[in-house]
Structures are given as C-alpha cells and as structure tokens.
Amino acid sequence: MGLVISRANSIHFVEVNTDLPNIENTLSFDERYAAFTTKDYCQKWQHDDVVTVQITSDVATSPLVEVLAPELLGTRPVTLKTSYTDRYYFEFTIDFSSYTDKHIQIRVTQGAIVWLSEVQENSDLDSDLDLGYLLKCEYTNKDQPSAVDNVQIDYTTGIEFFLYFEAQSKDAGYSGEDEIFVNVSETKLIASQLFKTRQLKTDFLPEFMLDKITLAGKHFLFIINDLRYVANELPDLTQTGSNRAALEWTLTHNEILGLSTDDKGLNDTDMTDFIIIEKDDAITGSWSFTLLDGYVFHLAVCGHGAGSAAAYTIAIGTTVGGDELWASGVTTVALGTIEEIVLHEQQAFQDGGDQTIYITLTGSGAVGKIYCQLIKNYED
C-alpha cells in the first residue's frame, strides 16, 4: 500500500503520480480531465489554527514534510505515533500562525512516493463564522473506536480533525419513529421518539470538500458549530457545469427532544441483562475484574492497544496467571487482529457469590485491549 494520507484528515492531499488524471491524483485547481469549467478553491484556516495530519505507511522510514509557497519555506518534524505489523502511523502539525497572509502547500515524500496538498489559506475567519457564512466542523472516532481496525487512520493516538466550509444550517425540522396500534375501532400510540433536525446546505464546493464533509458525518463524534449531530443516511448533491457541487444533508441532534412509551414490560432487571467491562489500551501482564453474583462471563473480545508490538497468548482463571477457565496458549492474538473467546459454558462460573477473574497476557512487547461481556444467569 505504501504511503497513504487518508481523506479523513483535515487537510486534503493527493498522491502525485503518472496515472491518467482523475479525482484521486489531481488537485482541484488542476482538474482538466472533464468537460467543465474549473474554479480554484483554497482550504480556509483561522490565523492561529494548529492542524494535525496523520500518515500511514508500510515503511518505517520517517517521511519528509515540506511547506511550499511555492518556494520552500521549511520542513516540519514528523513523529512516529504507533506501529503494528508492517504498519506505521506518523503525525505532524501545521501551525498556521507561522504562515500569516500566505497561501501554502504541503509536500510529503517517502522514497519515490510524493503527496501534495491543496492550497491552504490563512486568514481571520471570525467575522464569517459569526455571520454564518462559514461553519466549523469537528469529528473523530477516538472515544469510540470501531471494533474493526481502520488501516488508514489510527484513532488510538487521540487525533481529532476539524475544518471550515461555506454552508448554512438553519432550516429546523423533526425526526423520530412512532409505533401505532390500529384496531377495528381505534388507533393508539404505543411509543414515539422526537429529535430535532437541521438541514445542512453547502455552497458550491469542490469534490474533495464534499468528500471530507461526508466522511466527517460518518464519524462517531460529529460536531458543527459546537452542536453534536448524527448525519442520516447519505447527502444529496446538486451538480453544476463546473468542478463544484452543493451538498444537502439532514442532521439530527444527538440528544432526544422527548419520548413517550406505553408499558412494554421494561424494568431494571431487563436493563441489566448485559454488562460490558472494558479495559482499554493498558494490559501488559495481568488484569482482573469482578464477576458479579448472578452473572455469567459470556464473552471476551481481545485485541491490541496503542503501542502493541507483538502477539500474545491468553490465560483466564481465578488466580493471577491461572488458566483453569481458559488454558494459556489455546488462543493467540496476532498483532493487528481481534479474537473472541466464548466462556459461558464454563461451569466454574455458576458458583454463588462474586468472583474475581484474572486475565493474564504473555507476549514481550504486547499491549492488550480487552472487552468482557457478562450476561444474567437466569438458572440461579
């Protein structure tokens, strides 16, 4: 795969290569591969913004990062943040206060691979933000990582993205779901949920900006002007005769406005049928948790935490290093993989009273990330 700079990054890059020109290898102001008018566009940044860019590669050599205007203004230090089997994640920052009133590009080079950014514009955005001509969008997955590793972005480094774009978000609306019971002589509301919505409508923007807005909306944390939203389904695009298009998307407020529900038999016991216990990015030896009386240890999901550099084996027991509940060496968690261990048939978990369960990892340089699921034992 070589060196990759994901489109999820705040700043947009393309790989410079000799392929036929297309949207993946051409900057917006160089788009000459389609029969339409080409309009220039600069990504906009506040005069004092500091933007972090993450790079991934299958080569451990640190990339060279240069700032151009178009003359060379200097280089930026690059830090190796995390590494896995044949996968290295580097980060660097651009402090726009160092490039006042300049239009810059960033060039990233590793061996024969070269990536170049769109033109970046540094200015005072306060007035446009206050008047609503520009919106600020923030997005990340760092606090709720996916169960499947994203090979292009490692959110365990704590990286957060943001950007600005010309748009409005002012048309109010509502969304929700109703459950209606219809009988021969009556209609009855069983349950209802009500959320507030806003209609996001952008100005005509280049395709790379529309890509970024759509990617941002599919992150676990998606914020526009300090309000958190969930972006429903996919946006609609309005095309033009140029290399720009407009995006329209229904955004739902994260917090519910109100709900109603008839008695469906829900109670506190039902709501505690499942318990998730998480130990994230920290296990290098033994870790323990309490298996509450009346629960069964159902499942252990085992992966790798930040900085893990080796595979490991698992032992699960009622003492430190014990393996009577799951034998050491039976399950090996290879670097970069996730393994599930199903334990609910282990009869030792049926004993009365709380139990302390110990999970022991063996593997030099390994860092474990483990989630445990407990389920209610209705046989007690």
Per-residue pLDDT reduced to its tens digit, 313-329: 888 888 888 888 887 66
pLDDT at 266: 42
pLDDT at 150: 63
- Architecture, CATH, for domain 268-376: Sandwich (2.60)
What is the percent of the chain where pLDDT is above 70?
Answer: 87
Residues in the chain: 380
Residue 117 buriedness (CB in 10 A; 0-12 / 13-18 / 19+): buried
Per-residue pLDDT reduced to its tens digit, 163-187: 999 999 888 888 887 777 777 677 8
Closest CA to 118 of 229, 189, 12, 200: 12
pLDDT at 256: 73
| Interatomic CA distance for residues 266 and 44, integer angstroms | 50
CA angle (71, 77, 82) in 5-degree steps:
135
Q: What integer is the mean pLDDT of 278-298?
A: 79
Any idea where the domains of the chain sit in the sequence?
Answer: 13-258, 268-376
Per-residue pLDDT reduced to its tens digit, 184-225: 677 877 778 788 999 999 999 999 999 999 999 999 999 999
pLDDT at 349: 53
Per-residue pLDDT reduced to its tens digit, 265-282: 444 444 456 677 766 567
- Say what the alpha-carbon torsion angle 64, 165, 151, 236 is, to the nearest 10 degrees: -150
> What integer best gives the mean pLDDT of the chain?
85
pTM of this structure: 0.68
Pick the residue with more confidence: 95 or 253? 95
Q: What integer is the mean pLDDT of 72-88?
A: 93
Highest mean pLDDT range out of 47-51, 229-233, 237-241?
Answer: 47-51
Q: Sorting pLDDT into bands at 50, 70 and 90, what band is 144? A: low
Pick the residue with more confidence: 300 or 127? 127
pLDDT at 257: 75
Per-residue pLDDT reduced to its tens digit, 331-372: 788 887 788 887 755 544 555 678 888 888 888 888 888 888
